[in-house]
Amino acid sequence: MSTQDDVPRIALEPASTTPPYEQVRRQLAELIETAVLPEGARLPPVRQLAGDLELAAGTVARAYSELESAGLVQTRRGGGTVVAPRRALTPEELQARLAERARQYVTDTRRLGAADGDALAAVRRQQAASPA
């Protein structure tokens, strides 16, 4: 059994206009793509996760189904749903992911009131401080 600290969590935003299944899908995809959920990690059974999130089982099942279509998870009969082996992104996919994260970063820094130049400088400093 896992302890509270080492288990990734997801939570829903009740006020969000994003449908619950998409919130679940997006958070799980993020955890998988950032390797917080490593290859082979088992996801909770649909009914268990749905019960914990107070959602209908079909909502979580839809999120799992979309993750499977995207190649992020695999569902094995009797073996549950596990994180699929990571594959290299195509250049187009990589550009799309970078654009998505950049858009989010720009939104966040502008909300903070930071100038674009300062935000970019922060990225450069972070890149310099973090080994590749």
Partner 1 sequence: MAVVRLVGLVVGVAAGLVLGRTGPTGAAAPAIAGAVVIAVLVSELGRPRPERQHGSGAALEVRRVRDYARPAVAWGVVIGGLVLVAELAWLLAAGTWVPRDGVGTAWHSPGTGPASETVELNGMPFRYETLCAEPTEDARFTGRSDTGFYLVSDGDWGMELPSDLVASVCRGWVSGQGWAEGEGVVGAAFGTMATAALALLVAPLVLRATVRAPRAGADEQTRERDERWRRGSAGTVVATAGWIVFVPLAVWNIALLLVEDPASFTGPAEYVRLAMLALLAAAAVIGASAHAVALTRAPDR
Binding test (CB under 8 A) with partner 1, winner from 20, 21, 25, 43: 43
Distance of CA 83 to the CA centre of its chain: 12
Beta bridge partners of 76: 80
91-112 and 116-129 helices, crossing angle to 10°:
120
Q: Binders of partner 1 among 65-94, rule CB under 8 A?
A: 80
Give me the least distance between CB of 97 and partner 1, in Å please: 22
Binding test (CB under 8 A) with partner 1, winner from 22, 45, 109, 120: 45
Q: Which two tokens stand for residue 12?
A: 């829903």
Give me the least distance between CB of 105 and partner 1, in Å please: 24
User: Does 128 contact partner 1 by CB under 8 A?
Assistant: no
57-69 and 20-33 helices, crossing angle to 10°:
40
User: Does 38 contact partner 1 by CB under 8 A?
Assistant: no
User: Does 10 contact partner 1 by CB under 8 A?
Assistant: yes
Distances (CA, A) of 72 to 51, 68, 77, 81, 106: 23, 6, 17, 10, 27
Binding test (CB under 8 A) with partner 1, winner from 8, 19, 58, 71: 8
Closest residue by Cα to residue 81 from 66, 68, 94: 68
Residues that bind partner 1 (CB under 8 A): 1-2, 4, 7-12, 14, 28, 31, 37, 42-45, 47-49, 51-54, 80
